[in-house]
């Protein structure tokens, strides 16, 4: 019996949002892209110009949809949205500054960063609850798009879970994955998975490199 066809995923974080630029905590609030974020979306499309794609999936938040739009337009593909890919809900921290301008929020943010798996921000999701919904979304994508090439545009925490699972890393390592707006990844099947890193900002824009770069 032949092996089931494998799926290749391109995993990108949304471009810089208006609140990323201001240093605000966004969580699930639906904030749009900054001008730089829109440029990063266009850069993703350029990086993927010669890559065949079969589908594009984003979260239900406008910053991921807008990031994927240049690629969708170039490839003539629709954007499918999955709310299960939305960023982690950060409760009372959403909309607040995470530095010395808001000492209470700074302390809450530091406590969450120090123990993501065990600490729940008041009014927010615990990381294990969040990871379970993202894992379900990934299973759905792999089932629906088996053997295809799919661009997935998510969020910082969302992509920590996606990449942690796809790379086979232990769960305690997932929160340590640092994901900015200036890189995205192609995850090709294999044991271990074959990873290519693409740059969408700075002097390396458009370049690619074998292996995972944080």
CB proximity list for 8: less than 8 A, separation 6 or greater? 148, 149, 150, 186, 187, 188, 189
Say which of 21, 42, 51, 87 is annotated catalytic: 87
Q: What whole-number distance in Å separates Cα of residue 161 and Cα of residue 138?
A: 9
87 is catalytic: yes
Q: What whole-number distance in Å separates Cα of residue 129 and Cα of residue 149?
A: 28
203 is catalytic: no
User: What Rg, from alpha-carbon coordinates, does the chain have?
Assistant: 17
Nearest CA to 85 out of 37, 25, 156, 166 is that of: 156
Exposed, middle or buried by CB within 10 Å (0-12, 13-18, 19+), for 179? buried
Report the relative pairing of strands 8-13 and 194-199 from DSSP bridges. Answer: unpaired
Task: Give the ranges where the chain is alpha helix by DSSP (H).
Answer: 18-22, 35-47, 62-75, 103-114, 127-144, 156-166
Say which of 14, 89, 145, 155 is annotated catalytic: 14
Cβ atoms of 142 and 1 within 8 Å: the answer is: no
The catalytic site residues sit at 14, 87
């Amino acid at each position: 019996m032949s092996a089931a066809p494998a799926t290749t995923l391109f995993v990108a974080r949304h471009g810089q949002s208006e609140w990323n630029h201001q240093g605000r905590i966004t969580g699930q609030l639906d904030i749009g892209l900054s001008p730089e974020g829109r440029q990063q979306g266009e850069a993703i499309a350029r990086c993927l110009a010669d890559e065949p794609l079969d589908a594009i999936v984003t979260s239900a938040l406008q910053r991921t949809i807008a990031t994927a739009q240049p690629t969708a337009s170039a490839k003539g593909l629709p954007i499918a949205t999955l709310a299960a890919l939305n960023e982690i809900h950060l409760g009372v921290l959403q909309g607040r500054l995470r530095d010395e301008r808001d000492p209470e929020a700074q302390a809450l943010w530091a406590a969450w960063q120090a123990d993501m798996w065990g600490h729940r921000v008041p009014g927010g999701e615990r990381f294990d609850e969040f990871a379970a919904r993202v894992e379900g979304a990934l299973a759905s994508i792999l089932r629906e798009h088996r053997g295809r090439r799919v661009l997935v545009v998510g969020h910082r925490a969302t992509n920590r879970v996606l990449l942690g699972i796809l790379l086979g890393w232990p769960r305690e390592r997932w929160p340590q994955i640092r994901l900015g707006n200036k890189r995205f990844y192609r995850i090709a099947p294999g044991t271990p998975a074959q990873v290519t890193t693409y740059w969408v900002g700075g002097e390396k824009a458009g370049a690619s490199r074998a292996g995972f770069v944080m």
